[in-house]
């Protein structure tokens, strides 16, 4: 993602917190990774 184009907005859209994964966003992230092969950065806190 970042190596292809240096779009900061796109990079920020692919950062997700552990808390958000627990709130039901995990399925959206998994589907996006499977469909588009987009990497995500998972952060704690």
Q: pLDDT digits over 14-32, tens only?
A: 888 888 888 878 888 888 8
Q: How many folded domains does the chain comprise? A: 1
Q: Is residue 20 part of a domain?
A: yes
**Mean pLDDT over residues 5-19, rounded?**
82
Residue 29 placed within a domain: yes
The answer to pTM > 0.75 is no
Cβ within 8 Å of residue 39, ≥6 positions away: 1, 14, 33
Q: Copy the structure tokens of residue 44.
A: 């704690």
pLDDT of residue 1: 47
Structural contact between residues 15 and 2, judged by C-beta atoms closer than 8 angstroms: no
Residue 24 in any domain: the answer is: yes
Tell me which residue range forms the domain holding 12: 8-43
Q: What is the pLDDT of residue 41?
A: 86
Domain assignment present for 2: no
Is residue 3 domain-resident? no
């Amino acid at each position: 993602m970042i190596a292809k184009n240096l779009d900061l907005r796109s990079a920020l859209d692919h950062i997700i917190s552990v808390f958000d994964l627990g709130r039901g966003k995990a399925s959206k992230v998994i589907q996006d990774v499977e469909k588009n092969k987009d990497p995500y950065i998972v952060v704690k806190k």
